[in-house]
Structure formats: structure tokens, C-alpha cells
Structure 1
């Protein structure tokens, strides 16, 4: 088996293993025994894990039963990343890890024949970004916050940070085996983007600065204040974090900020990158690749979603909830005049942009 096939198979395992089946009464019993938490409990949506929100007298928390296919070292990496941010970015609105009554941050529990690992974190209230009110101010705040998360993680190292993950835009070629799941009209564009990525983008990524990144700043992982929906209340879900070129963080995040309905579909992207650049100045060779990474991440999103819909047809509506918008955005983005996106990104990073 080739290294490429082995990597693709390895990072797909977690995506194809069902989330743990935990019924709410048993989850509440475990919350009481393991953390001393009691109160109303609610099952949350999750792609890979079983997640429960529990509101207790001590506060609100999300208890995660981690997928059995996840490498324990990766579980530790994610927990340690959150603890590192708590130490080096205490002001940042990210979840805090709750220790079990035993003092463990990753206690284990037995459910039937399975021994599952838990991670419980503080619940940060808010509404997801897609339900809020988009504005230049919000994009500035979001860009600044993401940059500060990256600064907090800059010196964080863990052996499991170098992981195989299908959602890694730094290894976009791993989605090739799933192109048959695309609609007929989607396949030529996604294939062309992959060809350009492999010939032009990927060879240059290895030359760029790299560190641990969040790697999944989509609107469902950005919580806004409930009152106005205009301020960042939380950055959640570090489940896709990994060590990668820093510019991949923006390639992923900005792929969700394209606005095909606006007169200037790049208005959110420009405001976001200007604020990020003010905290972490972007280098010319990073900016030259950023537009390709944005498009590639969109192409990955529609490919992986449709592949997963074939695996879990009963969950098809949830898996494909963003498909139509993402495909429209990708078509609009790739229809822009050649060089316009890169030029806009460069101009946004000039001192007068903010």
C-alpha cells in the first residue's frame, strides 16, 4: 500500500466510525459520578463524537464521549492545546477543560463492551455566526480573535499534532478517492482545482512557517453574543486542530466568509484578513497561495459532505446543510477575474486597510 493511500485510509477511519451511542440517562449518570454535575441534559449534534450539554449549579458544560477510532495521543493533543491556550491566552473566548473529580482531564468510562474517553469543557453561550448580523466590525473582531488564538498556540508542541486528517487543506489530494460522489457538473471544477493544487500549491506549502492551528473556523464554530449577534462570544471545537502551515488557518476560515450575494463578494474576506494581518503580518509568499487555499477548502467541503451523505443517508440533511451555499460560492469565486482575489488580499494587508 502506498503512503498516499495509507494516509487517506487512516484519516478516513475516524470519519467512517459511528459516534458512540450513549443514551441521555446514562450520560447524566456518568456526569454525576465522574464530574459531580447534575441538571438538565441535552444531546448535541456531532460529526464524530457523542456530545451532551448539561446545565448544572456549577455552570454549563459540554461533555464529549470521544469516538473510539480516535488515537488517544490525538485526544491528548486536543486537551493539551486547550490547556495551553488557558495559560497563554487567558483572555480568549475558548472553552476551558473541566477536571474530573479524580483530577483527570481525560477520564475513561465503560459503556457496554467499550471503554470511552471523556472530555468536558465549559459551555460558552451564544448563537452561531450564520444566525448573526454580518458586518465589517464583526469581521475585524473575528480576524483579530483568530490571530490571537494562533499567537497563544505559537509555542505549543505535541507529538500528535502531526496527524492525518481528511479536513487538512494541506493534504487536499486525500479527497481524490471521493470525487465520484460529486454531482456531474461539479466534478470538472473540483478536479481542475485539485490539479492546480497538486502542481502549484502543495510544493510551496512545505516552505512556509507552520504551527498548531485551530483548522476549522466555520460559522458553526463561531459563537456570537445572544443580545445583538454582532460580537464574538466564543471560538469552539478544536477537534480538527493540527500542526500545519499557518496560512492554512486563513485558507480554511476565509472559505466560509465569501458572500456571493453581495456587490463585492470579497468584502468579508478583506475585512477579516486585514484584522488578522494587523496582529500577525502575512508574508508575500503566503498571500500568493491564500486564494488557492480558499477555493480548495470550498472544493473539499462539497466533496467530503457528499461522500459522508452516502455513508449516512439517515443523516443526509444535516451533513449536506451547507452544500448548496458552498457550491454557489465556489462557482462565484472561481468566476472572478484572474488575480482579483490575490490582489484584494494583498491590498487588504496594506497599513491603510484597517
Structure 2
């Protein structure tokens, strides 16, 4: 790929991301997102050259007030509000189309099998053993079901850091940000990402019987506004596990490539070992029934 082709692709990705945010903002589903603001000439993406002489794309968005959910707690009812917004966001993105919406995203867990080469690069033998066991289970249990799942354009990164909240606001959720990983993928994948981000972070130090206790609140809220089939509900827990595996493989690999930024890159990786232990301590059938 030439540098010109790369610039065109980046422009397309940035452009469609901005267009998607505007589409959600304008939808009738009531999802709170920042609005792109046009420049004087009407463009929402403006090429600039920074002080270092690097070519950049700049955009301006309206400010969205709130506290990132990963900086505060939440009650069961507030988590249900989170699920309700996820469902409404699914409806808001359903009608959007763009040439870049089928981009290959490493964080789309449907593509976890393509990350297999990263297993051999995990330096810690114990971690490599756990990841290999979970990876194998994913390919045996979840991968065969993937072609059966309904797909559409989805946010694909409904993490607590991308959800702004206000405990004094009856709606609780005041904003959804960061559409950078949005992609055409399975509805079940999008839900699994949201549920993953509600799992206990200290499962290794404080083992639990029900890893999905808090996540189930989100699911209850989601199902008020959007449906899931029995097949989707059965595979979602396995997709959650797959996302934990993907997160470990991607972040461990990136940390090895960029050792000066390991604290940031690995900030969510450590919690995954306790979560994977929970999954691997149970049979695939037990996992499949976790949300049914």
C-alpha cells in the first residue's frame, strides 16, 4: 500500500466515524452522543499541519458532560440504564451504511482465530497455557456458531471508559463516546463487549460463583428495548471469554513492541487472568447457560 493509498484509507475511516456519530446524534432513538461541528466551509474533517510538520485531520465536537463509568460505581438499576442505552444505540446504528463499515478490526472477536500466531509470542509459559486453552475452547464452541449470528453496524467498544454517567440524572447515562472501533459485526459480539466490561476486575483475588452478576443487570436493561435469540444468548458468554483472550493477546503483543507505554497498554489485561480461570473451571455447557 502506498502512502497516498494509506492517507485515503485513513481519511475514509475518520470520515465515516464522524458521519456515524452525526447519524446517531440525529437519530430518534435518544442516544446521547457528541455532535460534530462543521468548519466555516462546512467540512467536519479539516486537514492541518501541526507544529512538528505532521499532516493531521482535525475535527471539533460538542462537549458531553459526565463522569466515565470506569471512574465510579453503579447500582443494579443504573446498570440497567446502561443496557437500555446499548439497545437504543443498536437501533440507532442499524440503518447506517458506508464503504468503510466492513473494515477488519482486531477487536472484533469474530476474528479471534486470526490472532493465533500471537499465542507463540506470549513470553510467560503459564499465561500462554491459559490463553491456548481458552483459545481452543473458543474455536470449538463459539467459532462454529458465528455464521448463524445476525449482523449490522455496531459500536463494538461499549466499555465503561466510553460511557459517561451522572448519578443525579434520572437517565444516568449522559453520553456515549469513541466510535473508533465501530464495525459491521454480530449483534452478539457487541453485547458481549458490553458485558465483559461489567465483569469483576478482582476475580483472581476474590473468586465469585456468578461472574455475570453485574453484567446481567445490563442485559436485563438491554432486553427491554432489543431482542436476542436463544442462540445469541448461549454464545455471548463464550464471546466474552474470547474478548478476554483477544485483549490479552493484543495488549501483550503491543506492550512488547512499545515497552515505554506498558502501563497504559496493559491497564486492563491483569484482570483477565482471574476471569479466564472462571471460564475454564466450568464446562462449555455451563458457560452457555450462564445468561439463559
* TM-score interval for Structure 1 and Structure 2 normalised by the shorter chain: 0.7 to 0.9
Give the count of matched residue pairs: 281
Distance (whole Å) between structure 1 residues aligned to residue 59 and residue 14 of structure 2:
9
CA contact (8 A) 1:68 1:116 kept: no
State the Cα deviation string for residues 190-226 of structure 1 (Å, max 9, x = none): 2222223334423322222111100011111112227
Matched, 1:304 2:250: yes
Q: Report the Cα offset of residue 172 of structure 1.
A: 0.8
**Residue matched to 1:168:** 108
How far the C-alpha of 1:85 sits from its partner, in A, is 0.7
What does residue range 27-42 of structure 1 map to in structure 2 within 5 Å? none
2:104 partner SS: coil
Query: Which residue does the alignment assign to 2:139?
Result: 198
Question: Residues 229, 279 of structure 1: CA spacing in aligned structure 2 closer, same or farther, 3 A cutoff?
Answer: closer
> 1:303 and 1:141, CA in 2 relative to 1: closer, same or farther beyond 3 A?
same
Shift of 1:266: 1.7
Q: CA RMSD in A?
A: 2.4
Query: Alignment partner for residue 99 of structure 1, among 33, 38, 60?
Result: 38
Please say if residues 302 and 323 of structure 1, whose CA atoms lie closer than 8 Å, have aligned partners that are also in contact: yes
Distance across 2 between alignment mates of 1:154 and 1:246? 10
Q: Secondary structure at the match of 1:344?
A: coil
Show the counterpart of 1:31.
none
Partner of 2:126: 185
- The answer for the alignment partner of 1:220 in structure 2 is 161
Identify the residue that residue 22 of structure 2 maps to in structure 1: 83
What CA distance in whole angstroms lies between the structure 2 residues aligned with 1:90 and 1:78? 19
Q: CA 1:311–1:285 in 2, change beyond 3 Å: closer, same or farther?
A: same
What's the secondary structure of 2:224's corresponding residue? Answer: helix
Residue 330 of structure 1 and its aligned partner are, at CA, apart by 2.1
Alignment equivalent of 1:252, drawn from 193, 196, 199: 193
- CA-to-aligned-CA distance 1:281-326 (integer Å, 9 cap, x gap): 1011212211110000011111111111112111111111122212
Kindly indicate whether the alpha-carbon contact (under 8 Å) linking 1:214 and 1:249 is maintained by their aligned counterparts in 2. yes
**Among candidates 143, 148, 152, match of residue 211 of structure 1:** 152
Once the two structures are TM-superposed, the CA of residue 230 in structure 1 deviates from its matched residue by 9.6
C-alpha distance in 1 between matches for 2:237 and 2:209: 19
Aligned to 1:273: 219
Give yes or no for contact 2:193–2:240 (8 Å, CA) kept in 1.
Answer: yes
Gapped regions of structure 1 (runs ≥ 5): 1-9, 11-66, 347-354
Q: Which residue of 2 aligns with 1:148?
A: 88
Q: CA contact under 8 A between 1:223 and 1:235: conserved in structure 2?
A: yes
Structure 2 SS opposite 1:299: helix
Specify the SS of the correspondent of 1:281.
Answer: coil
Corresponding position of 2:72: 132
Distance 2:70 2:76 in 1: 15
> 2: distance between equivalents of 1:232 and 1:327?
29
**Is this contact kept in 1: 2:141–2:238, CA < 8 A?**
no
Q: Indicate the structure whose relative CO is greater, using CA pairs within 8 Å and at least 6 residues apart.
A: 2
Any conservation in 2 of the 1:126–1:223 contact (CA below 8 Å)?
yes
The equivalences for 1:63-74 within 5 A come to: 71-74=10-13
Matches of 2:245 and 2:123 in 1, distance apart? 10
Structure 2 length as normaliser, TM-score? 0.87
1:190 and 1:95 map into 2 onto residues whose CA distance is 37
Q: Secondary structure at the match of 1:339?
A: helix
